[in-house]
């Protein structure tokens, strides 16, 4: 059975410096709260992670009382940067690479499924009762001097058993993002979704609960999935539970490889996920996710790249590859590489590692000096010089000067 012994002195991953840093900050929060007659707790993810022996990336603190005041004093004492989110009654203090989130303990009421909750101040029990899963609904009173753990929902037992369990039947209806969060945590920790919770999730999906969710909130959860160490696992789990098809009927994870060789940027995972979608489906997905321009571009370019795949595979010259891929979002290109190593992928790989950056050796002013007029002709000549260099027809500045001179004398030879 896991206990809280030495929670603040060992992190279990050998990262002693981080743990010491966390401990200093927690001690500081405890002192500030005590001096103000308030009670402060470490809550949620960091408690879960410490019980698992993992050092949490961030610290989440709940204050029974005025968290803003504690945040202001903490920022001043540790010389951190304070950001106050008035609307949510939360504050973040950033010190170096560590973010400390402080929130006033609160109870929540959900006016309608998928909507943001109405909040009012509450006690620590209220604050834990509003949370998503039992393993995220534990608190550690500060200062952490003993094995005290506030665990009214038996989160530590579920942590030991490896179970993701909601706190009440209405949880997914209150907050449909929890549907995606459940598979994310299950995949990250190798846990099972407890049977009743899985049933509730299935019911919520059948009731089309996800459609009540705004595009922004849905996209934000997907983004968090792409930031996981191994996004394929939660995406496949989401597919198995028919969560992806509830977002868009064409969305699946079946085409994703079991493992990738190297770390991949989050937006490349988006590209990998939308690989099977055609342009129209991609547009519908972008609309559903209220996609900002970078997401929309990756989704649209992925459809273009997939459509170009046969031509890419057949391309025999680097310049042909460039004319198919120039202007595509790099994340879309990287996403295509996640899909394995066919002839198209080989060309994309060469493009990303080299061809995209190939430019003519001569610049505009060199061409002006050779008699190429400014304007469209200049553009066409530069493009043609790039093409010649890409395809190995020129090897030096002299070769390019020679070509440019020929074209000046016989301009119709400058193709396109
Ligand atoms: N939470 C919740 N329901 C949500 C989002 C968050 O109940 N839809 C609660 C959980 O208790 C969670 C805490 O708020 O632990 C903080 O949320 P977040 O930062 O998303 O979770 P972490 O547990 O810190 O997750 P991660 O390890 O992915 O950062």
pLDDT at 7: 35
pLDDT at 324: 96
Kindly state the helix (H) or strand (E) to which residue 293 belongs, with its residue range: helix 293-314
> Residue 200: which domain range?
178-247
Cβ–ligand 1 distance for 234 under 6 Å, the answer: no
Beta bridge partners of residue 93, listed in sequence order: 82, 100
Cβ–ligand 1 distance for 178 under 6 Å, the answer: yes
- For 19, 75, 106, 185, 337, the CA distances from 101, given in Å and listed in that order, are 17, 11, 14, 20, 37
254 within domain boundaries:
no
Tell me the three state secondary structure of residue 58: coil
| Cα within 13 Å of Cα(382), Cβ side | 16
Cβ–ligand 1 distance for 177 under 6 Å, the answer: yes
Residues of the chain with confidence (pLDDT) below 70: 1-20, 145-147, 260-261, 411-416
Same domain? 88 vs 71 = yes
Average pLDDT, the chain: 90
Work out which ligand 1 atom sits closest to the CA atom of 181.
8
Same domain? 280 vs 297 = yes
pLDDT at 412: 63
Number of Cβ atoms within 10 Å of the Cβ of 384:
20
Same domain? 350 vs 384 = no
238 within domain boundaries:
yes
171 within domain boundaries:
no
| Smallest CA separation from ligand 1 atom 7, residue | 131
Name, in order, each residue with C-beta under 8 angstroms of 292's C-beta and a sequence gap of 6 or more.
none
| Smallest CA separation from ligand 1 atom 22, residue | 45
pLDDT at 264: 86
CA of 148 to the centre of ligand 1 (A): 21
Same domain? 57 vs 143 = yes
Tell me the three state secondary structure of residue 40: strand
Structure confidence by residue, pLDDT tens digits, 19-51: 667 888 999 999 999 999 999 999 999 999 999
pLDDT at 112: 79
Ligand 1 pocket test target in 119, 132, 223, 229 with most atoms within 8 Å of CB? 132
Work out which ligand 1 atom sits closest to the CA atom of 130.
7
- 98, 46 in Cβ contact below 8 A? no
Write the CATH number for 3: 3.30.460.10
- 50, 142 in Cβ contact below 8 A? no
Work out which ligand 1 atom sits closest to the CA atom of 48.
23
Same domain? 13 vs 63 = yes
- For 50, 97, 290, the CA distances from 22, given in Å and listed in that order, are 11, 11, 37
Domain count, the chain: 4
pLDDT at 261: 66
């Amino acid at each position: 059975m896991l206990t809280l012994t030495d929670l603040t002195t060992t992190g279990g991953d050998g990262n002693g410096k981080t743990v010491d840093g966390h401990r200093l900050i927690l001690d500081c929060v405890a002192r500030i709260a005590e001096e103000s007659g308030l009670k402060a707790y470490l809550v949620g993810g960091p408690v879960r992670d410490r019980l698992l022996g993992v050092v949490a990336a961030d610290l989440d603190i709940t204050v029974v009382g005025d968290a803003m005041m504690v945040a202001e004093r903490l920022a001043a004492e540790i010389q951190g940067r304070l950001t106050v989110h008035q609307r949510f009654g939360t504050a973040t203090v950033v010190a170096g690479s560590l973010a400390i989130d402080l929130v006033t303990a609160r109870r929540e009421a959900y006016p309608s499924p998928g909507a943001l909750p109405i909040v009012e101040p509450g006690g620590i029990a209220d604050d834990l009762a509003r949370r998503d899963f039992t393993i995220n609904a534990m608190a550690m009173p500060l200062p952490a001097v003993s094995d005290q753990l506030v665990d009214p929902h038996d989160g530590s037992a579920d942590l030991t058993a490896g179970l993701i369990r909601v706190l009440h039947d209405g949880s997914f209806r209150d907050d449909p993002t929890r549907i995606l969060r459940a598979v994310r945590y299950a995949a990250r920790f190798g846990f099972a979704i407890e049977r009743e919770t899985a049933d509730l999730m299935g019911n919520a999906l059948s009731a089309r609960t996800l459609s009540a969710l705004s595009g922004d909130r849905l996209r934000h959860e997907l983004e968090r999935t792409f930031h996981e160490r191994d996004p394929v696992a939660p995406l496949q789990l989401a597919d198995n539970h028919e969560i992806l098809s509830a977002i868009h009927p064409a969305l699946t994870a079946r085409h994703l490889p079991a493992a990738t060789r190297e770390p991949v940027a989050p937006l490349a995972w988006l590209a990998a996920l939308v690989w099977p979608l055609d342009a129209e489906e991609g547009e519908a997905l972008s609309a559903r996710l209220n996609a900002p321009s970078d997401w929309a571009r990756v989704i649209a370019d992925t459809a273009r790249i997939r459509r170009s795949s046969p031509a890419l595979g057949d391309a025999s010259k680097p310049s042909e590859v460039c004319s198919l891929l120039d202007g595509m979002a790099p994340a879309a290109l990287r996403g295509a590489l996640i899909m394995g190593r066919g002839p198209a992928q080989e060309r994309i790989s060469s493009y990303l590692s080299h061809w995209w950056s190939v430019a003519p050796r001569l610049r505009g002013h060199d061409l002006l000096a050779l008699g190429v007029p400014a304007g469209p002709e200049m553009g066409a000549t530069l493009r043609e010089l790039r093409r010649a260099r890409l395809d190995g027809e020129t090897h030096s500045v002299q070769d390019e000067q020679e070509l440019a001179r020929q074209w000046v004398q016989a301009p119709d030879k400058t193709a396109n």
